[in-house]
Amino acid sequence: MTIEAIGALLEKEFPQAFYPGCGLTIERANYGDVRIRKAFHEDHLRPGGTVSGPTMMELADFAMYVAVFSAAGPQPLAVTTNLNINFLRKPAAADLIAEARLMKVGKRLAVGEVTLYSDGESEPVAHVTSTYSLPVQK
């Protein structure tokens, strides 16, 4: 699926204004390889000035969801079955970038990894592995 097709699907399936308007932007969507940007907002900060873990987990999960669409087509009923995150360093108070890559897409499961970066930084702030369950095709 293209960026435009994925965006239209998200708009249709999440009319409660999750997308667009949530600060997430799809910057690249190739087969099983996507780049997502989460716009920085001060609400994402926790004490100590670091971006919160839930903010980073939301971005990683969304990036995997988009990666699944990019490879398996429109699968709005796909769900996360596992998400493991390793926080590597304190993210800057800046946009977050997610680089997601699917490692395997099967009939029932999609497995991938996501690397999160602070915009403008070369070192990752978190590494994620995740598995999505794909609905049975009829």
Res 113: pLDDT: 98
For CA atoms 122, 61, 67, 38, the dihedral sign is negative
Fold of 3-133: Thiol Ester Dehydrase; Chain A (3.10.129)
CA–CA separation, 65 and 83 (whole Å): 12
pLDDT tens for each residue of the chain, 138 residues long: 888 888 888 888 877 656 566 788 899 999 999 999 999 887 887 888 888 889 999 999 999 999 999 998 888 889 999 999 999 999 988 999 999 999 999 999 999 999 999 999 999 999 999 999 998 776
Q: Domain map of the chain by residue range?
A: 3-133
| C-alpha 2: how far from chain center | 16
Res 93: pLDDT: 87
Res 20: pLDDT: 60
Q: Which residues contact residue 48 at a Cβ distance below 8 angstroms, ignoring those fewer than 6 apart?
A: none
Res 8: pLDDT: 85
Res 128: pLDDT: 98
Res 138: pLDDT: 62
DSSP state of 112: E
